[in-house]
Structure 1
Amino acid sequence: MGVRWHVGWFDVPVHGVFVGLGVLAASVVFVLEARRRGALGEESLVAVTGALVGGALGMRFSGLVEHLDPRLNPTLAEAWAFGSRSILGGLLGAYVGVLVAKRIIGYRGKTGDLFAPAVALGMAVGRIGCLLTEAPGRPTSLPWGIHAPATTPECPGCLTGQAMHPSFAYEIAFQLAAFGVLLWLRSRVTHPGELFVLYVSAYAVFRFFVEFTRANEEVWLDLTRPQWFLLLSLIVVGVRLRSGWRHGHYDRLLGRQGVPS
């Protein structure tokens, strides 16, 4: 059922509230950024719709491949009813949703740079719900370790009263910092699509390492499922970053104006 707030006659799902607020924050930033760039039109709104639909489906159905043994995975109906609430699944679904939406209307323009700051702020807000409702992380002796209620789902450390890494707070801090940096970068990285590439690359690296503080199950070689997914992603973004660097897309950022690519 998840953690719920009791407001009058209503039971409000805490995680769902902050996911909704995150989507709202991301949508507002997207519209403002699109207006600033003169790109606010039907095409960009269709892209947002594709992102919302794809993200929702990605979060719901990413649990279908949670286990290598297919017998342990939920059915299609169970995945739709309960979902896995996977952020990585949601991001992948949103990306595919944008591609499909743009293909349907025949739009070839790049929209990733509009999404980059929007996603960063939306993730920061949405992760507050995770911080308040999910197992914080692995046990730690660091002074900022936190204690979570014993009723927190799937949290053995909560039952024993251990101090744990506030892993979601780490991510909130990262996403807020990324939001600020992306606003600073948008006038320095102007080649279409590169701002989004930089954000995805930074988040993939951060998320891989922050997984070592998360409470996720290790499946092979002391790495979690998200880390194995991210290893493949890091190879892809590494190749993409190298291509952008070779073509001079980051020259202005690196102070290399006028250097031939």
Structure 2
Amino acid sequence: MSGLALHSLFDILAWLAAGLAAYWVAQRTPVVRPLPQANRLPYLAALVCGAAFGAYGLGSLNLYLSGAPAIARSIEGGLFGGIVFVEIYKRAAGLEERTGARYALPLAVGVAVGRIGCFLAGLDDFTHGVPTDLAIGYDFGDGVKRHAVQLYESAAMALFALFYILALAAKNAYVARNGFYLAVLYYGAQRFLWEFLKPYGRILGPFTLFQLLSMILILYAAAMLATAKEPQHERPLRA
């Protein structure tokens, strides 16, 4: 099976894993509440449209800025676009309740699985790292050892998934309520670091497009965590 075919397979596995993670979370925490019926379809439309626009728009823009213009998808771009479109919709619809709790574990699991596909796609995927002389360097087939940043990110997000699962198992209500913002904060921070090991174009000093997006995601998550309110009446988490 070719690298790109393996990438597609792991994309499917990532979506399946994320769906199972969402179901697992919904069964164990009352924090995950359904939206009002009238808001569900437009909310989903905003999420899907925003994720698609961000994934393809920002992914392709990054390749253009890196001197390799082509149509591309970006996990971070999809996350950024989905957040922006959903927050705009919620403001327009007058929805004040936070709706991200159900997406914390799916985000972490989806990225952890999906990045393995990026790694298996090799050089064609253009998600590899810069050359390195370190022993951890990986030869993607052209005789040059590079940082396998895809696996670095996969491992980092798997660690967050483990942290989140253990927190829910310990009935940590704070993590259950604010897990999505913790996940976004963590994702943005680790992605910011790995970008220094990627061959992408620098657009502001030493920073890539995705590092700028990472900064915005970190600030967004930090602001949401700082303004989180403690509920007066909250049902206990299920084991």
TM-score normalized with structure 2 length: 0.74
Shift of 1:35: 2.7
Corresponding letter in the other structure for 2:130: R
Give 1:92's aligned residue. 80
The alpha-carbon distance between structure 1 residues 57 and 223, as it changes in their structure 2 partners (threshold 3 A), is closer
Structure 2: how far apart are the matches of 1:41 and 1:243? 22
Corresponding letter in the other structure for 2:50: G
By relative contact order (CA 8 Å, sep 6+), the higher-ranking structure is 2
Shift of 1:162: 1.8
- What's the C-alpha RMSD, in Å, of the aligned pairs? 3.5
Q: Secondary structure at the match of 2:2?
A: strand
Alignment deviations for residues 78-109 of structure 1 (CA, whole Å, 9 cap, x no partner): xxxx7421111111233245457767987654
Among 149, 172, 195, which residue is 2:141 paired with?
149
Show structure 2 runs of 5+ residues with no match. Answer: 232-239
Is residue 2:179 matched to residue 1:195?
yes
Structure 2: how far apart are the matches of 1:43 and 1:97? 18
Shift of 1:131: 0.7
Shift of 1:65: 4.7
Give 2:25's aligned residue. 33
Among all aligned residue pairs of Structure 1 and Structure 2, give the percentage whose two residues are the same amino acid: 27
Give 2:153's aligned residue. 171
Structure 2: how far apart are the matches of 1:40 and 1:189? 14
Shift of 1:189: 3.8
Corresponding letter in the other structure for 2:100: G
8 Å contact from structure 1 (residues 25, 122) kept in 2: yes
Q: Which moved more, 1:177-186 or 1:235-244?
A: 235-244
Among 2, 6, 22, which residue is 1:5 paired with?
2
Is residue 2:179 matched to residue 1:183?
no
8 Å contact from structure 1 (residues 137, 215) kept in 2: yes
Give 1:59's aligned residue. 55
TM-score normalized with structure 1 length: 0.69
Corresponding letter in the other structure for 2:205: L
Instruction: Flag the structure with larger Rg.
Output: 1
Q: How many residues end up aligned between the 2 structures? A: 220
The alpha-carbon distance between structure 1 residues 15 and 218, as it changes in their structure 2 partners (threshold 3 A), is same
Is residue 2:208 matched to residue 1:224?
yes
The alpha-carbon distance between structure 1 residues 192 and 176, as it changes in their structure 2 partners (threshold 3 A), is closer
Show structure 1 runs of 5+ residues with no match. Answer: 7-11, 75-81, 151-160, 250-261
- 1:235-250 superposed matches below 5 A: 235-244=219-228
Higher helix share: 2
